[in-house]
Structure 1
């Protein structure tokens, strides 16, 4: 800390007195250490936020097996509500960092996750809980989805433009891993009593699958996250500082005057909207498509692979976007998403389990290209806007794309109710992805584009 200019940090309080990441001397003298420390801590908190956001997707396939009597449509609604809440809350979060600063926003929004986690901890222990209560708790899980639109803009303020693709990809990619973590850990953690079966941890539930009964502890899926959320939320309050880039609510509306705000929103809806929507519905797609066959797969043994592949692809694509340019990488990612959406459509109405490996492979390829596009679009935005505006655009595009789980849940509920198949949805997605490929080419990726980025 001794090498850091004394004017950079206030002795106490929230706001840094100076922050100039594009100044190489400032960056080398200590700015880099603060930026990377902030990135590390906010990334851990973002990972927990995604885990809380997608907790419902990991629980919903188990609810009918422990006595909850819900239709396929009702189950898709439960997976859709966190997306509805996440997108709506992101529209609020996008304004928070320039108003209240990184320290307050990250710590308090992380601690707010205790509300849905405690709610689900108790609700899954009682199959008589009304459906509307579970809908409310699903909506509150969206608190985790909202955090993205304040955490990511915060990170965009801490780093110079030359490193933004890498920094944002690391944070978002590792944060996205929260989806895989909760979907991977849940099937294992619910299989035994935590803390030696302490009374306050609740009783087991009887799970019936293929006529075989076993004892599970669904509440463990939420319980295991609670101490981490409390610890890292408090740590953020103690260790984080805030960049002195401030703007009130009204001043931040200037981003909506730019056509780039709307084009980047569409591109990010393609990439992250596709990623989040499919991550939330992947377990139910497996259950609805292949659950009726003999030897049907356990959805949660496969579903976590999709978010995992997409998250790791996002981390890897960040440095690639810094090197090659975000628009070029987005172009190839979009083409890949078009091809994969068409391919998935071929296997969502299977005749036998023999088609399951092909379905999973096509889905994982779709997650892979979506993850790459998630990173490259976030490289494009800081190149098109000034730092404070770029932070706002990142927050807004993330807010709209966070409706992915809600929109996908509704689309699949409609498709299964009307056609008893998800095939129309994937053909529609292919068309939407193709439109975005054309948009990106015309505005940013083609030779001679007015705004190459």
Structure 2
């Protein structure tokens, strides 16, 4: 039976008296709770309701959403670290096969982000979090079995890696779900936490997997734990979503807004820029362990207290932590300016890498890559911050058009679509490196290509979004 709940009764002050209406306004929102943890009447823009009930409910859902998305990123990027350990487990892979195992999850995950974006409105945020977390059990379990037998066909390994792409889809559904819970004034904070919590999953996988498969192994190599160690946490995420998360009946899929956004040229420009920032982050995060193993095999792992430790996790970690600061600086100086600065530092990082590789110094190599990761992370935050500003400016430029879909709806749809397209960079970056290695036997040619691409993207950002244009109502973004 549906249970209505309203906070219309006045609060009691510390003195035991009811405050006057001029101090606290009674919320007008009334929630109805239905079986299956469905909530009707959700209105986070009602300030009194938000203070009395809404914030606590939204934060509870945010916490479990972050945890589920965090595990999604782990499964999505698991093969980035597993690939470099397969030779120790008796597998013999070519460079091309290794890069396919690293990049295919990103290709599948980016593609799944499109349907996952609309799954929340179709099935409910709580319900889809349970389902999407449960799907992670398949690649995690299958990986544990497959890597125990060096005779496992490469096609089977590739299929299991592809199944790991379901973790990449989790980002889109998680971000869409949290968008519905929070008021406009707090969406940036909530979505920033949600995104950062997910991105850190890559670093955690690259940190903990080498430790888990070697700690206490007593001469054996328990590589199957690379997949199985996450199963208990996935079950906890499913239980937490079932027990503590909610479905909002007000969450509706905006297909008209998405269709309108796809017709907007600025969506495609921003998608390309996001491939350059987020795509570079997720792409480099995926290949970093292999690049270290190829260029500096003696530094691929360090033995600490009987366990192996890889420093590859540091790249994804600093990139994830830098993302919120990119958004914060974009708020102060403008998203386009910060995106231009990010691409400039990415060029500097790539050039430094090219020029210092002949030195053969691992620590210089690591420093150049960490600079590159910081720049991609800040670029993620700055580029993502540009999207609502662009669509707000487009709204001012098209004011008076009675047939235009509201720019707020376009902007909301564009966030999901651009995040999906940008994730394809996780496939492109490894494959460019693979092509470079196949053609030249090394990776320098690929990094020259990245320098050229970042220079083009930096120029596009400056020309289109820093120079005032009539199509953006004369605004700088």
Give TM-score scaled by structure 1 length.
0.87
Number of equivalenced pairs: 429
Structure 1, residues 273-305: CA drift from partner, whole Å, max 9, x if none? 0000000001111122223xxx44429622100
Provide the rounded CA distance (Å) in 2 between the counterparts of 1:166 and 1:322: 12
1:197 paired residue number: none
2:301 paired residue number: 298
Preserved contact between residue 170 and residue 318 of structure 1 (Cα < 8 Å): no
Provide the rounded CA distance (Å) in 2 between the counterparts of 1:332 and 1:39: 31
Provide the rounded CA distance (Å) in 1 between the counterparts of 2:184 and 2:333: 14
CA gap of 1:264–1:164, structure 2 versus 1, over 3 A, is farther
Provide the rounded CA distance (Å) in 2 between the counterparts of 1:371 and 1:429: 16
CA gap of 1:446–1:162, structure 2 versus 1, over 3 A, is farther
- Which stretch of structure 1 is more off in the superposition, 28-37 or 38-47? 28-37
How do residues 248-327 of structure 1 correspond to structure 2 at under 5 angstroms? 249=255, 252-291=258-297, 295-298=298-301, 301-327=310-336
Preserved contact between residue 117 and residue 226 of structure 1 (Cα < 8 Å): yes
| Correspondence 1:374 to 2:380 | yes
Preserved contact between residue 78 and residue 206 of structure 2 (Cα < 8 Å): yes
Preserved contact between residue 29 and residue 46 of structure 2 (Cα < 8 Å): no
1:345 equivalent among 354, 359, 364: 354
1:233 paired residue number: 238
1:43 paired residue number: 66
Q: Secondary structure in 2 aligned to 1:61?
A: helix
CA gap of 1:81–1:400, structure 2 versus 1, over 3 A, is same
Instruction: Give 1:251 deviation, angstroms.
Output: 6.1
2:182 equivalent among 146, 149, 159: 159
Instruction: Give 1:383 deviation, angstroms.
Output: 3.6
Q: Secondary structure in 1 aligned to 2:42?
A: coil
Q: Secondary structure in 2 aligned to 1:216?
A: coil
- Which stretch of structure 1 is more off in the superposition, 100-109 or 178-187? 100-109
CA gap of 1:12–1:331, structure 2 versus 1, over 3 A, is farther
| Correspondence 1:394 to 2:415 | yes
2:345 paired residue number: 336
Instruction: Give 1:439 deviation, angstroms.
Output: 2.5
Q: Secondary structure in 2 aligned to 1:8?
A: strand
Instruction: Give 1:108 deviation, angstroms.
Output: 0.9
Q: Secondary structure in 1 aligned to 2:220?
A: strand
Q: Secondary structure in 2 aligned to 1:246?
A: coil
Instruction: Give 1:178 deviation, angstroms.
Output: 0.4
Point out where structure 2 has 5 or more consecutive residues left out of the alignment.
Answer: 8-26, 303-308, 392-406
1:413 paired residue number: 434
1:224 equivalent among 214, 220, 229: 229
Preserved contact between residue 107 and residue 233 of structure 1 (Cα < 8 Å): yes
How do residues 42-81 of structure 1 correspond to structure 2 at under 5 angstroms? 42-81=65-104
Preserved contact between residue 323 and residue 377 of structure 2 (Cα < 8 Å): yes
1:444 paired residue number: 465
Provide the rounded CA distance (Å) in 2 between the counterparts of 1:167 and 1:19: 17
| Bigger Cα Rg | 2
1:12 paired residue number: 35
Q: Secondary structure in 1 aligned to 2:434?
A: helix
2:367 equivalent among 339, 358, 361: 361
Preserved contact between residue 71 and residue 234 of structure 2 (Cα < 8 Å): yes
Instruction: Give 1:324 deviation, angstroms.
Output: 4.3
| Correspondence 1:431 to 2:452 | yes
Q: Secondary structure in 1 aligned to 2:31?
A: coil
- Note the aligned Cα RMSD (angstroms): 2.4
Provide the rounded CA distance (Å) in 1 between the counterparts of 2:280 and 2:118: 24
Preserved contact between residue 55 and residue 183 of structure 1 (Cα < 8 Å): yes
- Which stretch of structure 1 is more off in the superposition, 278-287 or 440-449? 440-449
CA gap of 1:372–1:52, structure 2 versus 1, over 3 A, is same
Give TM-score scaled by structure 2 length.
0.83
Provide the rounded CA distance (Å) in 2 between the counterparts of 1:452 and 1:23: 32
Provide the rounded CA distance (Å) in 1 between the counterparts of 2:465 and 2:371: 25
Instruction: Give 1:315 deviation, angstroms.
Output: 3.2
Provide the rounded CA distance (Å) in 2 between the counterparts of 1:242 and 1:171: 18
Provide the rounded CA distance (Å) in 2 between the counterparts of 1:306 and 1:396: 26
Provide the rounded CA distance (Å) in 2 between the counterparts of 1:239 and 1:260: 39
Instruction: Give 1:67 deviation, angstroms.
Output: 0.9
| Correspondence 1:29 to 2:52 | yes
Provide the rounded CA distance (Å) in 1 between the counterparts of 2:6 and 2:355: 61
